[in-house]
Amino acid sequence: MGETQPYSGRPSELVGRQIAGYRIEREIGRGGMAVVYQAKDLRLERTVALKLLAPELARNDTFRRRFTHESRVAAAIDHPHIVPVFEAGETDGVLYIAMRYVAGSDLRHLLDREGPLSLAVATRIAVQVASALDAAHDHGLVHRDVKPGNILVAQGTDSDHPEHVYLTDFGLTKKSLSLTGFTSVGQFVGTLDYVAPEQISGKPVDGRCDVYSLACVVHETLAGRPPFQRDDDMALLWAHQYDQPPSLTERRPDLPAAVGEVLSKALAKTPDDRYDSCLDFVGALRIAGTTGTLAAGHVRPRPSPSASTSPDVPEPPDWAGPVFTRP
Ligand SMILES: Nc1ncnc2c1ncn2[C@@H]1O[C@H](COP(=O)(O)OP(=O)(O)OP(=O)(O)O)[C@@H](O)[C@H]1O
Ligand SMILES: [Mg+2]
């Protein structure tokens, strides 16, 4: 990037600078394609999170289109668990998006700091993410990049709601740029820990790919690591497509077996074998966690072709408890 450009990628350069009516105060974090700053909106005197496209990517038309797309998609959905977008634009060759600043932590940092969470906390977080995802699906939008780094956890309103969770990076489908997340400019843009089998094989995706990714996140939240970990990317992609997910309750023996069954169904290789919606999944998770039983109508996923057959377990009795309703 030339010397006239305001941003050459070194974080300290921008702190104190003004970009499009925002004064940059500090760097919050950086991901595969952008840097996020805490900034002050000088017109309204409020703190915002300002996301700036990485300079080396700003020249890439595909990235520019995705960045614009992300802001439009996110701004179109008004939901208590989706980060509100205030403004998006371009100034001096820098693409930016201003959104609500969420004080707190993202789930990635929370897990790195705290390790596995209790079932109650994990379920509370998952329910909020699920409601955001189902709302987006109702708008015909699939997130495709559900992962702990895109889940922001803020303080909640009261002891009944100790945390308020926001989903971010809506519509930013970086993995669709290529099979493994390597972009046309050869950069790796994200983790493969949460990617659904049908995303890998290039089949059409719908909201059930977010069910799979959310299940990977819930598994990690409870077990301390994602369901599949392999030495290299190709092995990891293979595992998502063909390997039986590890038993959650082997990793967390304190949890009811029914919780593990719910996770297995949500992690089914074939979308038809998963829950139809994210709230169906977390509703079943909540029932399994509180009663130790499976919701009525729970059907086990078909084992994947290469998965080892599990020993026969008798079907649990149907349970006609309260039906989980959308918040
Ligand atoms: N609205 C926000 N308020 C506060 N912090 C935020 C906000 N949005 C993002 N962040 C922080 O900035 C970090 C970087 O975000 P970014 O989306 O660039 O990267 P990522 O999600 O980790 O990776 P990826 O580029 O693959 O999405 C996030 O992990 C989060 O901690
Ligand atoms: Mg992100």
Task: Give mean pLDDT in consecutive 10-residue pieces for the chain, a chain of 327 residues.
Answer: 45 84 94 89 97 78 75 84 90 88 96 97 98 91 92 92 91 44 44 94 93 98 98 95 96 96 98 98 96 79 52 32 26
* Catalytic (active site) residue 160: no
User: Are 271 and 280 in contact, with CB atoms under 8 Å apart?
Assistant: no
Q: What one-letter code names the amino acid at 268?
A: A
Closest residue to atom 4 of ligand 1, CA basis: 102
176: exposed, middle or buried (Cβ count in 10 Å: 0-12, 13-18, 19+): middle
User: Are 31 and 190 in contact, with CB atoms under 8 Å apart?
Assistant: yes
Taking a 5 Å cut-off on Cβ, the residues next to ion ligand 2 are 31, 150, 169
User: Are 146 and 214 in contact, with CB atoms under 8 Å apart?
Assistant: yes
- pLDDT value for 61: 82
Strand order in the sheet with 22-30: 18-19, 22-30, 34-41, 46-53, 94-100, 85-91
Q: Output the six-digit token pair for 95.
A: 């693409």
- Residue 206: closest CA among 155, 154, 134, 151: 134
Q: What one-letter code names the amino acid at 100?
A: R
Closest residue to atom 17 of ligand 1, CA basis: 31
Residue to mutate, 71, 129, 152, 175, ligand 1, most ligand atoms under 8 Å from C-beta? 152
Q: Which residues pair with 39 in a beta bridge?
A: 24, 48
- pLDDT value for 299: 72
- pLDDT value for 183: 42
- pLDDT value for 11: 54
Region at 211 (left for phi over 0; alpha for psi -120 to 50; beta for the rest): alpha
User: Are 134 and 75 in contact, with CB atoms under 8 Å apart?
Assistant: no
% helix, strand, coil for the chain, step of 5: 35, 20, 45
Provide the b/e sequence for 218-248 (b: ≥16 CB within 10 Å). bbbbbbeebbbeeeeeeebbebbbebbbbbb
Q: Is the CB of 28 under 6 A from ligand 1?
A: yes
- pLDDT value for 301: 67
Q: 46: how many CB neighbours lie within 10 A of its CB?
A: 13
List 41, 106, 134, 145, catalytic entry: 145
